[in-house]
Amino acid sequence: MALTNFILTVAGVSAVVLLLRSDVKQSATIFRRNVKHIRKWLEEESANAPK
């Protein structure tokens, strides 16, 4: 019984870790994409600003 509980706990923790890892990767990708857009917008605004 203890071995079964241990195996289920390890499987559950592993599943959570895998989900979090993929979620973090996805969030990092979205964050990088947003930073690129914001940088592009700032460059456009500074180029269009009257001098």
Query: What is the chain's pLDDT, residue by residue, as a tens digit (51 residues)?
Result: 899 999 999 999 999 999 999 899 999 999 999 999 999 999 998 888 776
Number of domains in the chain: 1
Q: Classify residue 50: in a domain, yes or no.
A: yes
Distance CA 37, CA 45 (A): 12
| Residue 30 domain-assigned (yes or no) | yes
Q: What is the pLDDT of residue 51?
A: 61
Entry field: residues in the chain? 51
Using the structure block, give the residue that is written with the tokens 């203890």. Answer: 2
Would 24 be classed as within a structural domain? Answer: yes
Q: Considering the domain boundaries, does residue 44 fall inside one?
A: yes
Structural domain contains residue 3: no
User: 36: domain range?
Assistant: 20-51
